[in-house]
């Protein structure tokens, strides 16, 4: 499973929720699809999409099966939402926000660590990770990316010569 978003609010009195998402496109969500809601750390409950509408490019208003009241839907607010990797495989290269939690491996240096956060600058995406006790920012741009593997949650990169050394000196 891969984290795709978060339930941020309830909507109306009928139990609908508002979910923000980090996929680059809104077309991945389908009626009948299972959304895995992390109720507690490592504990996921499936909820099936009964109906939804795209609120804007980053949000959905979703009616979930078995949620018919605002009281029921309030339990889901602030919970992270996950989906099967296969659903987002087509969007993986478009949305580096999906890469949080992926391991980052350089073809020359080997395993660097786990991406803790992803941020966007004016021109590029940067992945933040800890390497040899130091916070490192790695550019997540096409010339450096060699492989994005959603199933194994792994990025393989070929870093420019000397990039890591800048952080370690």
Q: What is the structure's pLDDT at 169? A: 63
Q: Do domains 2-90 and 96-168 have the same CATH topology?
A: no
Q: What is the structure's pLDDT at 11? A: 94
Q: What value does the mean pLDDT take over residues 134-149?
A: 89
| Reported pTM | 0.66
Q: Any idea where the domains of the chain sit in the sequence?
A: 2-90, 96-168
Give CATH superfamily name and number for 2-90.
RimM (2.40.30.60)
Q: What is the structure's pLDDT at 90? A: 66
Pairing of strands 103-106, 154-157: parallel
Q: What is the structure's pLDDT at 152? A: 84
Burial of 42 (0-12, 13-18, 19+ CB in 10 A): exposed
How far apart, in whole angstroms, are the C-alpha atoms of residue 34 and residue 28? 12
Please name the fold of domain 96-168: SH3 type barrels. (2.30.30)
């Amino acid at each position: 499973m891969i984290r795709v978003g978060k339930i941020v609010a309830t909507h109306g009195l009928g139990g609908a929720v508002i979910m923000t998402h980090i996929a680059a496109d809104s077309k991945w969500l389908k009626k009948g699809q299972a959304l895995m809601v992390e109720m507690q750390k490592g504990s996921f409950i499936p909820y099936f999409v009964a109906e939804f509408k795209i609120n804007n490019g980053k949000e959905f208003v979703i009616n979930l099966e078995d949620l018919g009241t605002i009281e029921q839907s309030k339990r889901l607010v602030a919970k992270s939402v996950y989906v099967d990797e296969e659903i987002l495989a087509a969007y993986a290269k478009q949305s580096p926000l999906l890469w949080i939690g992926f391991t980052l491996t350089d073809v020359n240096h080997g395993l660097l660590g786990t991406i803790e956060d992803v941020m966007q600058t004016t021109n590029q995406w940067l992945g933040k990770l800890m390497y040899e006790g130091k916070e490192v920012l790695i550019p997540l741009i096409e010339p450096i990316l060699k492989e994005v593997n959603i199933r194994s949650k792994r990025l393989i990169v070929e870093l420019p010569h000397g990039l890591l050394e800048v952080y370690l000196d």
